[in-house]
Chain A
Amino acid sequence: MDVFLTTWKTNFLPPFLEPLLYLVAMGLGFGVLIGQVVYEGQFIDYIKFLAPGLIAISIMNSAFFECTYGSYVRMHYQKTFDAIIATPLSIEDVITGEILWGATKSLINSLIVLAVVIVAGLASFPGLIVIPFIAFLTGLMFASLAMIFTAIIPNIDSFNYPFFLLITPMFLFGGTFFPLSVLPSWGQTTALLLPLTHTTNLIRDLSFNMLLPVDLIGLLYVALLTVITFFVSVHLMKKRLIK
């Protein structure tokens, strides 16, 4: 517990502001044009459809940003990892701490977005009570995934690649801004490979109180990807740092 608290740095401003801006701009703006969308056979107000997607985005952005740029700065520029592994802690402890911290940031930021969503009446009990747990869990997944890039990246500018090739496509096609059912079937299948799609689905279905079989698959996907990316990232980090 103690480990990740130490990496506490007070800079969690933008990651929740961005989704809130989208909520206003897209939700209110587009909402007027679009009106309602069909999701899982039901007609839903666009802004209500959009809100869970933005919670998911805030989860993804927070953890991914923290465990790429944030971790890289601590590792490479501030040599914090070197300082810590001279104490009884090991590199596994350090990476675990970073990932827990990334997930904690996802939790904090998504709670802020969630609070706005609740106030705006866009999510309902009791499903929304589970959302913070899902936020933390999927936060762990995005943090571990980010840590893999941090372990292999040659310099800080190279983070452009995972952001452009992974985060931006997920942002747009992860079931966030439109129902995936409008995509051709190959598009839907591809979207289901993306971690954000499952995050969005889980959170959306929870905020609508409609758990579907696909959500269990989503949960399994999240658990599995988290475990795999966690071990891969620890392994790669050891390779990078232990010489």
Chain B
Amino acid sequence: MRAVIRAERLRKTFDSLVAVDNIDFEVNEGECFGFLGPNGAGKTTTMRMICCTSPVTKGMLEVLGMNVTENPREIKALIGVAPQENNLDPDFSVLKNLTTYARYFDMPRQIAQDRAKGLLDFMHLKEKADVLIPDLSGGMKRRLIIARALMNEPRILILDEPTTGLDPQARHVIWDKIRELKSKGVTVLITTHYMDEAEQLCDRLVIMERGKILVEGDPKRLIDEIIGMGVIEIANPSKELELYLEVRGLASERVNDRVYIYTHDVDTVNRDIMSNFSITFSAMRKATLEDVFLKLTGRGLRD
């Protein structure tokens, strides 16, 4: 597999604040690669360096074999960007937003018009072609931003929180489209706070915190390695139960009035606990990426 993005000891500082702290990663051609992490982890900053809109402080960053500092124009011509913040032009209609954007890529008018119509169709926005931006719903705006990012038929699509604030239907539409693009060979970079989304879409992902990469890998493998198969959640555990977990060497975590037990053998462990202790509430479930995320980044709020 060929790497289309390579970062080595990549660093970004804002005055004294270190936003991205010597990270290394590679994104392969045709995969969907995720950036997860709590607020302020440095995801958007990393994306913006890849998009050549934010200068690299230190380290090496290559996109499609070109250095972001030396060839920003060439790189930007080949990538599509859907930023975290909505920056559609409110004075223009939906269609005009796309065709205007195409002009910045020096695209012939007719091609731009055809592509814009095709993409509105693809993103289920055909009926809205002549509507002004302020009259769109949040989900429509997000879809339009993705459509706009696809105007130059990019080889790499960069999506910064594409589904934040959307209803389940809209999220599923966007997921379908991302899969469709991937099947056409587009490399997709995505940041998200939805763990199910990352689990569903990403072939590989990194979890970042305070500018550093904590882990990298395929989501299924990360869940398996870091958490195990399943989770047992027990309310109001007794001192004895906690001692028992420690003696048995079971991975567990205490959060307020709950204890979470991470194990590959949910059934056996649960049966043992049930027969030895009186439990008011317990639940068993499959381990998810959210468990991995919370375990690695902790449960405290970020400021």
Interface residues of A (CB under 8 A from B): 2-3, 5-6, 9, 78-80, 82-90, 242-243
Considering only residues 14-73 of chain B, those with a C-beta below 8 Å from chain A are: 14, 51, 53-55, 72-73
Contact between chains at B77 and A78 (CB < 8 Å): no
- Residues of chain B with a CB closer than 8 A to A83's CB: 83, 87-89, 101
Chain A's closest residue to B148 (CB) is A83
A89-B104 CB under 8 A given contacts A82-B83, A242-B54, A243-B14: yes
Contact between chains at A80 and B83 (CB < 8 Å): no
0/1 per residue, B73-103, Cβ < 8 Å to A?
1101100010101111111000000001101
B122 at the interface (CB under 8 A from A): no
A88-B104 CB under 8 A given contacts A82-B53, A242-B54, A243-B14: yes
Contact between chains at A86 and B103 (CB < 8 Å): no
Q: Which of B14, B76, B86, B90 contacts A88 (CB 8 A)?
A: B76
Q: Once bound together, how far apart are the Cα atoms of A90 and B14, in whole Å?
A: 21
A6-B77 CB under 8 A given contacts A78-B87, A242-B54, A243-B14: no
Chain A's closest residue to B45 (CB) is A243
Q: Once bound together, how far apart are the Cα atoms of A13 and B73, in whole Å?
A: 37
Can you offer 21 A-B residue contacts whose CB atoms are under 8 A? A3-B103, A3-B104, A5-B103, A6-B100, A78-B90, A78-B91, A80-B89, A82-B83, A82-B85, A82-B87, A83-B83, A83-B88, A84-B104, A85-B53, A86-B53, A88-B77, A88-B104, A88-B105, A88-B106, A89-B104, A90-B73
- Residues of chain B with a CB closer than 8 A to A86's CB: 51, 53, 76, 81, 83
- Residues of chain B with a CB closer than 8 A to A80's CB: 87, 89
Q: Once bound together, how far apart are the Cα atoms of A243 and B20, in whole Å?
A: 13
Residues of chain B at interface, number, CB under 8 A: 26
Contact between chains at A9 and B91 (CB < 8 Å): yes
Contact between chains at B73 and A88 (CB < 8 Å): yes
Q: Once bound together, how far apart are the Cα atoms of A89 and B76, in whole Å?
A: 8
Q: Once bound together, how far apart are the Cα atoms of A85 and B51, in whole Å?
A: 9
Q: Once bound together, how far apart are the Cα atoms of A60 and B136, in whole Å?
A: 38
With both chains docked as a complex, state the minimum distance between the C-beta of A17 and any C-beta of chain B, in angstroms: 22
Q: Which of A2, A6, A85, A243 contacts B106 (CB 8 A)?
A: A2
Q: Once bound together, how far apart are the Cα atoms of A92 and B37, in whole Å?
A: 33
Contact between chains at B105 and A87 (CB < 8 Å): yes
Chain A's closest residue to B152 (CB) is A87
- Residues of chain A with a CB closer than 8 A to B53's CB: 82, 85-86, 242
Interface residues of B (CB under 8 A from A): 14, 51, 53-55, 72-74, 76-77, 81, 83, 85-91, 100-101, 103-106, 152
- Residues of chain B with a CB closer than 8 A to A6's CB: 100, 103-104
Q: Once bound together, how far apart are the Cα atoms of A2 and B99, in whole Å?
A: 12
Q: Once bound together, how far apart are the Cα atoms of A5 and B88, in whole Å?
A: 17
- Residues of chain B with a CB closer than 8 A to A89's CB: 104
Q: Once bound together, how far apart are the Cα atoms of A90 and B152, in whole Å?
A: 17
Q: Once bound together, how far apart are the Cα atoms of A150 and B105, in whole Å?
A: 26
With both chains docked as a complex, state the minimum distance between the C-beta of A187 and any C-beta of chain B, in angstroms: 44
Q: Which of A5, A78, A82, A90 contacts B72 (CB 8 A)?
A: A90
Closest 5 CB pairs of A and B: A79-B87, A87-B104, A83-B87, A86-B81, A88-B77
- Residues of chain A with a CB closer than 8 A to B77's CB: 87-88
Q: Once bound together, how far apart are the Cα atoms of A83 and B55, in whole Å?
A: 16
Q: Once bound together, how far apart are the Cα atoms of A100 and B51, in whole Å?
A: 27
Contact between chains at B104 and A242 (CB < 8 Å): no
- Residues of chain A with a CB closer than 8 A to B106's CB: 2, 88
With both chains docked as a complex, state the minimum distance between the C-beta of A4 and any C-beta of chain B, in angstroms: 11
- Residues of chain B with a CB closer than 8 A to A82's CB: 53, 83, 85, 87
Q: Once bound together, how far apart are the Cα atoms of A174 and B103, in whole Å?
A: 40
Contact between chains at A78 and B51 (CB < 8 Å): no
Q: Which of A2, A6, A87 has the most CB of B within 10 A?
A: A87
Q: Once bound together, how far apart are the Cα atoms of A85 and B101, in whole Å?
A: 11
With both chains docked as a complex, state the minimum distance between the C-beta of B82 and any C-beta of chain A, in angstroms: 9
Q: Once bound together, how far apart are the Cα atoms of A3 and B101, in whole Å?
A: 10
- Residues of chain B with a CB closer than 8 A to A3's CB: 103-104
Contact between chains at B101 and A242 (CB < 8 Å): no
Q: Once bound together, how far apart are the Cα atoms of A80 and B85, in whole Å?
A: 11
- Residues of chain B with a CB closer than 8 A to A5's CB: 103
